[in-house]
């Protein structure tokens, strides 16, 4: 055994303590106590691995001592000795759930030694397990922080490439969460939606700016390149366990309800719900903000468009949920977004993005370039 364990032995008869000490004292550090109170004090002052106690003692029974030892030394292994067949004590001890072994008196020295050896082995094993679990937990936390850092970096990178896209992703993320809430999704799903929303277009980092910012319609080749972005987004998110569902939402956020979307042509309920939600909030946001190829069409027209395509492009129940959160108009929606999310986003401050004004900057720049070209 890798360490010299401390064993507390408790018995009101000193002769019994001597006997136990003689059998175990060679291999372990023994601390004696003649009663429960004294035993508890020993436990407070010493890192005891094993408690061996007599059941029948004047002021506190062995079972009571073992129970009271729990808050002090929860991990210590507990062995109960009893000189007569006290069925109730046995049942109590087992029900208390923390007795490793019950040993009837008179005990055999070799058997006791073996029991103690096994008990301490299981004590060490438990300590080792606890340590491993602690290590694992801290590794998981580290990994989670790492992936949040990665997301922050990705969001910032996209922000740097195109302020319009980043502001858009932020709004899509928030509208998606509101739709999710309207559909009664659980906290965990909302988190995945939030992540999926912010990351859904991250793959556009790999799309050339000439295509991304093209003010006219795309050629078939350009469209093919553009259509790779959900898969690219999913690839960037990678295989991180905690992001698996968000990644699926991202991968499928251009699948249409009738199966005519991409990349996999999924239809109906086979499209992850999160992806169907992101599609609707994506479309709503795209229509209500300026785009390189056209100006915003406004809330009412956007709503009409979504209604028209409910059942073909969009999941009707998701469209209904969007209608319910936009009923009071765009200003009310923006107000709600500011109230519910504030400036904080998953703990990320997306630098320089104002979700209400992005797109305008790009549009202004585009107008300037057009004017310069015309002069
Ligand atoms: Fe997209």
| Structure tokens belonging to residue 53 | 């106690």
Q: Does residue 345 sit in the same domain as residue 208?
A: yes
CATH number at residue 233: 1.10.3210.10
Share of the chain above pLDDT 90, in %: 43
Residue 369 CA, ligand 1 centroid: distance in Å = 26
Q: Does residue 94 sit in the same domain as residue 176?
A: no
Residue identified by tokens 């072994």 is 101
| Structure tokens belonging to residue 294 | 């056209």
In a domain, 144, yes or no: no
Q: Does residue 174 sit in the same domain as residue 130?
A: no
In a domain, 37, yes or no: yes
Peptide bond into 263 cis (omega under 30): yes
Residue 348 CA, ligand 1 centroid: distance in Å = 21
Q: Which long-range contacts (CB under 8 A, 24 or more apart) does 100-107 make?
A: 103/79, 105/81, 107/81
Q: Which of 12-26, 164-178, 272-286, 336-350 has the lowest mean pLDDT?
A: 336-350
Q: Does residue 84 sit in the same domain as residue 187?
A: no
Extract the runs of DSSP E, i.e. beta strands, from 12-96.
29-33, 50-54, 77-82
What was the pLDDT predicted at 347?
Answer: 43
Q: Does residue 170 sit in the same domain as residue 289?
A: yes
Residue 126 CA, ligand 1 centroid: distance in Å = 50
Mark residue 323 as left, alpha or beta (left: phi above 0; alpha: psi -120 to 50; beta: remaining): alpha
150 phi and psi angles, rounded to 5 deg? -65, -45
Q: Does residue 220 sit in the same domain as residue 346?
A: yes
Q: Which of 31, 39, 72, 69 is nearest to 57 (CA)?
A: 39
Residue 201 CA, ligand 1 centroid: distance in Å = 5
Q: Does residue 233 sit in the same domain as residue 330?
A: yes
Residue 260 CA, ligand 1 centroid: distance in Å = 15
332 phi and psi angles, rounded to 5 deg? -65, -40
Segment 258-274 shows an average pLDDT of 96
Residue 194 CA, ligand 1 centroid: distance in Å = 15
Burial 147-156 (b: 16+ CB within 10 A, else e): beeebbebbb
H or E element in which residue 307 lies: helix 299-308
Query: What distance in Å separates the CA atoms of residue 128 and residue 130, rounded to the nearest whole number?
Result: 5
Highest mean pLDDT out of 39-43, 133-137, 336-340:
39-43
Residue 200 CA, ligand 1 centroid: distance in Å = 6
Confidence category of residue 3, pLDDT binned at 50, 70, 90: low
Residue 255 CA, ligand 1 centroid: distance in Å = 10
| Structure tokens belonging to residue 372 | 């310069």
Residue 211 CA, ligand 1 centroid: distance in Å = 14
| Structure tokens belonging to residue 98 | 């923390």
Q: Which residue, 94, 118, 134, sits at the end of a domain? A: 134
CATH number at residue 43: 3.40.50.2300
Asked if 78 contacts 66 with a C-beta cutoff of 8 angstroms, the reply is: yes
Q: Which residue, 94, 119, 134, sits at the end of a domain? A: 134
Q: Does residue 129 sit in the same domain as residue 200?
A: no
In a domain, 148, yes or no: no
Q: Which of 97, 94, 98 is nearest to 78 (CA)?
A: 98
Domain count, the chain: 2
CA angle 292, 337, 156 (to 5 degrees): 55
Residue 340 CA, ligand 1 centroid: distance in Å = 24
pLDDT in tens, 68-100: 999 999 889 999 888 766 677 677 766 665 788
Q: Are strands 77-82 and 50-54 parallel, antiparallel or unpaired?
A: parallel
| Structure tokens belonging to residue 77 | 């292994």
Residue 328 CA, ligand 1 centroid: distance in Å = 27
| Structure tokens belonging to residue 99 | 């007795």
Q: Which residue, 134, 150, 175, sits at the end of a domain? A: 134
Is residue 284 pLDDT above 80, yes or no? yes
pLDDT in tens, 167-193: 677 788 889 999 999 999 998 899 889
Residue 336 CA, ligand 1 centroid: distance in Å = 24
What was the pLDDT predicted at 69?
Answer: 93
Residue 80 CA, ligand 1 centroid: distance in Å = 67
Residue 100 CA, ligand 1 centroid: distance in Å = 59
Find the domain containing 128 and state its range.
6-134
In a domain, 141, yes or no: no
Residue 283 CA, ligand 1 centroid: distance in Å = 9
In a domain, 152, yes or no: no
Q: Does residue 369 sit in the same domain as residue 255?
A: yes
In a domain, 142, yes or no: no
Q: Does residue 73 sit in the same domain as residue 194?
A: no
Instruction: For residue 96, give every residue at least 6 positions away whose Cβ sits within 8 Å of its Cβ, in sequence order, or none.
Output: 63, 66, 67
Q: Does residue 217 sit in the same domain as residue 338?
A: yes
Residue 173 CA, ligand 1 centroid: distance in Å = 12
Q: Does residue 216 sit in the same domain as residue 121?
A: no
Residue 196 CA, ligand 1 centroid: distance in Å = 11
In a domain, 111, yes or no: yes
Residue 229 CA, ligand 1 centroid: distance in Å = 7
Q: Indicate the pTM of the whole model.
A: 0.57
In a domain, 17, yes or no: yes
More confident residue, 321 or 362: 321
């Amino acid at each position: 055994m890798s360490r010299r364990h401390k064993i507390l032995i408790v018995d009101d008869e000193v002769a019994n303590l001597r006997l136990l000490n003689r059998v175990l004292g060679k291999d372990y550090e023994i601390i004696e106590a003649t009663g429960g109170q004294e035993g508890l004090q020993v436990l407070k002052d010493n890192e005891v691995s094993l408690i061996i106690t007599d059941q029948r003692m004047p002021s506190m029974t062995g079972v009571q001592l073992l129970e009271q030892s729990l808050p002090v030394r929860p991990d210590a292994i507990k062995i109960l000795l009893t000189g007569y067949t006290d069925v109730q004590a046995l049942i109590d001890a087992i029900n208390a759930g923390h007795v490793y072994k019950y040993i009837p008196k008179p005990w055999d020295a070799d058997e006791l030694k073996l029991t103690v050896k096994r008990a301490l082995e299981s004590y060490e094993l438990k300590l080792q397990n606890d340590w491993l679990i602690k290590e694992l937990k801290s590794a998981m936390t580290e990994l989670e922080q790492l992936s949040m850092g990665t997301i922050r970096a990705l969001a910032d990178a996209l922000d740097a490439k195109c302020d319009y896209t980043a502001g858009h992703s932020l709004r899509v993320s928030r509208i998606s969460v509101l739709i999710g809430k309207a559909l009664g999704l659980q906290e965990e799903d909302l988190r995945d939606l939030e992540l999926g929303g912010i990351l859904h277009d991250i793959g556009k980092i790999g799309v050339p700016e000439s295509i991304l910012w093209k003010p006219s319609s795309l050629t078939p080749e350009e469209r093919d390149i553009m259509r790779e972005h959900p898969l690219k987004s999913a690839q960037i998110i990678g295989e991180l366990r905690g992001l698996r569902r968000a990644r699926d939402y991202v991968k499928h956020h251009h699948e249409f309800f009738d199966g005519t979307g991409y990349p996999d042509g999924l239809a109906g309920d086979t499209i992850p719900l999160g992806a169907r939600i992101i599609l609707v909030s994506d479309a709503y946001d795209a229509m209500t903000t300026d785009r390189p190829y056209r100006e915003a069409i406004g809330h009412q027209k956007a709503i009409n468009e979504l209604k028209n395509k409910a059942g073909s492009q969009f999941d009707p129940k998701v469209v209904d949920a969007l209608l319910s959160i936009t009923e009071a108009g765009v200003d009310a929606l923006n107000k709600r977004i500011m109230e519910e999310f504030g400036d904080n986003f998953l703990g990320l401050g997306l630098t320089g993005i104002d979700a209400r004004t992005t797109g305008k900057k790009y549009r202004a720049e585009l107008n300037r370039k057009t004017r310069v070209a015309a002069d």
